[in-house]
Structure 1
């Protein structure tokens, strides 16, 4: 595991600038791409460190927490997260959900922070989807990630033309060329939205400043938990929005 992710990411940005310049890409657009990069923490199986994320099984919840509508997807040990994740420094963050298109809309209760040292009891959730198979995710990395080329063009220009879409793809190719090889992640905190059919950030209709809180990737598709930036800063995990893309 890289000890200083900030330095690693800074070095990758330097390599990207050099690669983009070698390809003749406009400097102003290269810098716009860099500004649009999104930090995220990614988890995969393998490795020999502690299990930062545990998938599946049944949750341990404090007394007074309401019964859950969905089965447990992941339990994140916040004390083991790399610096800069922007989440609680201790305790466990539990994510509940399902790989179904019905998993869409305001989802209060689908993310629960359990404080360190809190007395908990195992709760079983009655669901056709769970419990999910238990997995331990020990491989962790934190890096800057771009939007996909099409999403980038649509966020950069109000009505992008073919050349602007192509430029977004070229910037993405230059970024990928200097990135090295990464394992396929299963669970992520933060990062850009994963777009299969629809951008999850376009799902809430209230015009709020939403960002990706977490994403869970499976063969069936991707489940995403969104949160308003002000709620993330305040630790208001009871106000998330959830959606699945299959």
Structure 2
């Protein structure tokens, strides 16, 4: 696991923002907008916290999923508090989706929790494009995730103008400048969304009929192993109260492509 890079980052960012003449008030707003995230990438020699692709390991009595397996997360290997979310402490989380379909909306079987000790076996499932090529994710790190500049501006100001969008981009530049170098991640838990066209958290907040306090559960940035879908991003979102109750049948999935 790569060491946490958050130590002192806020102070370094304040100094960098001040050196660029950026307003201290907006720099503090940027810091408050950051959220924890856990990021994983292929390679490394750490424990196998996340495995992408392949066939799912499902309980004998579980129905077949509607879409191929994207990721299998070993919950005990995700440090408590690293994602800022109340994830299950034991068992596995399975994430399903089909980026080619351009999914957008609620999916009752997009995420499944298999409790520890549940009799389960590998199952070959014919669903959509899958199975995707298996990838072992042994490189993991944790750090504060900032919002995308456009998302920050639209949350910070009502009907932001060009100068406010530019200020958000300058804040992002200052934050990135003091953050150090990180590998290119493929899968993340928590964090802020990766926005290509639309911010999925803003979309679900507008579209969900019952409202609620939504959180980003996970993100998959498709790579070349996804069969020509490497410009796609899949986001799984859940209401915080549903996550606390392990109601993974109420997940909202959003697929975005360039």
Question: Aligning the two structures, in what range does the TM-score lie when normalised by the shorter sequence?
Answer: over 0.9
CA distance in 1, matches of 2:126, 2:200: 27
Q: Which of 213, 217, 223 does residue 221 from structure 2 map onto? A: 217
Deviations 1:37-93 (A, max 9, x none): 021110001211111101111111113322210111110011111231331111111
Partner of residue 134, structure 1: 134
Q: How far apart in 2 are the matches of 1:159 and 1:243?
A: 25
- How far residue 15 of structure 1 moved from its aligned partner, in angstroms, is 0.9
For 1:181 and 1:2, locate their aligned partners in 2 and report how far apart those are by CA, in whole Å.
Answer: 11
- TM-score in terms of structure 2 length: 0.90
Q: Conserved in 1, the CA contact under 8 Å of 2:2 and 2:140?
A: no
Structure 1 pair 44–72 and aligned structure 2 pair: CA distance change class (3 A): same
Structure 1 stretches (4+) deviating beyond 3 angstroms? none
RMSD over aligned Cα, in angstroms? 1.4
Measured after TM superposition, the shift of residue 143 of structure 1 is 0.8
Match of 2:166 in 1: 166
2:247 corresponds to which residue? 236
Cα contact 2:2–2:139 (8 A) shared by 1: no
Ranges in structure 1 where 5+ consecutive residues have no aligned partner: none
Alignment check: 8 A CA contact 1:101 1:245 kept: no
Aligned length: 243
Is 2:116 aligned against 1:116? Answer: yes
Rounded Cα–Cα distance in structure 1 between residues aligned with 2:97 and 2:60: 21
- Output aligned runs, 1:48-63, within 5 Å: 48-63=45-60
Farther-moved stretch of structure 1 (124-133 vs 177-186): 124-133
Residue 27 in 1 paired to residue 36 in 2? no
Offset at 1:101? 4.0
